[in-house]
């Protein structure tokens, strides 16, 4: 089950022993799924992934949202070409014009997302968690201590992997996202 909590860059631990124990300098301030959606526009679904390609709830989501293209991203040093460079790019704060839809098939990781007040929220995901990040939302992605995740990615009729590093405040998708945030997700 997904967990979300506030972080700041100063709290991100750099000491290797602390990383291994996953300690935080301050206790996490957890958010409910409702708060997460209200603060960021992120949608969450729990999906059975054992037979995900035929899962009714996933098919219903795809039909409702118009997702007609998918692929699988296996983030592991031996399975992902240019592994280190891609992890660096994923962790660079950016936004996409369209929704980013990710279903965790195996493993675990973190998505960091800016809330309406520009604070970081870390979202821990594991097998069966599906996140829908709104287009125009600033975010980044990183592996957790397990160092592995396999993601099912969903797209509209045409896959679009374009991203825009922050700042991209004049991009139409960012402007639309900010307007939604002001009005309330």
pLDDT tens digit sequence for 61-80: 999 999 999 999 999 999 99
Residue 96 marked as a ligand binder: yes
Residue 143 predicted with pLDDT over 80:
yes
- Does pLDDT of 110 surpass 90? yes
Q: Percent of the chain, pLDDT > 70?
A: 91
Tens digits of per-residue pLDDT, 9-48? 766 654 444 554 555 566 788 999 999 999 999 999 999 9
Q: SS3 breakdown of the chain: % helix, strand, coil, rounded to 5?
A: 30, 35, 40
Judge whether 176 and 135 are in contact, CB under 8 Å.
Answer: yes
Q: Is 139 annotated among the ligand-binding residues?
A: yes
Q: Are 111 and 133 in contact, with CB atoms under 8 Å apart? A: yes
What stretch of H or E contains 44? Answer: strand 43-46
100 is in an annotated binding site: yes
From CA 165, how far away is CA 148, in angstroms rounded? 24
Task: Write the CB contacts of 83 (distance below 8 Å, at least 6 apart in sequence).
Answer: 75, 76, 77
Determine the pLDDT at residue 25: 61
pTM, two decimals, is 0.90
Task: Tell me which of 47 and 158 has the higher pLDDT.
Answer: 47
- Is the pLDDT confidence value at 151 over 70? yes
Write out the CATH class of domain 3-176: mainly beta
pLDDT at 15: 47
């Amino acid at each position: 089950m997904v967990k979300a909590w506030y972080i700041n860059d100063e709290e991100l631990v750099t000491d290797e022993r602390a990383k291994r124990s996953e300690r935080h300098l301050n206790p996490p301030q957890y958010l409910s799924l409702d708060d997460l959606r209200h603060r960021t526009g992120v949608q969450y679904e729990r999906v059975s992934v054992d037979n995900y390609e035929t899962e009714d709830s996933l098919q219903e989501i795809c039909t409702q949202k118009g997702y007609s293209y998918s692929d699988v991203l296996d983030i592991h040093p031996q399975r992902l070409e240019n592994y280190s460079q891609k992890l660096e790019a994923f962790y660079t704060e950016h936004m996409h014009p369209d929704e980013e839809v990710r279903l965790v098939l195996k493993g675990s990781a973190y998505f960091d997302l800016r809330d309406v007040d520009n604070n970081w929220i870390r979202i821990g995901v594991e097998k069966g968690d599906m996140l829908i990040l709104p287009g125009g939302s600033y975010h980044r992605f990183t592996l957790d201590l397990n160092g592995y995740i396999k993601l099912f990615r969903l797209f509209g009729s045409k896959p679009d992997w374009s991203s825009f590093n922050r700042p991209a405040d004049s991009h139409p998708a960012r402007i639309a996202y900010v307007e939604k945030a002001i009005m309330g997700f």
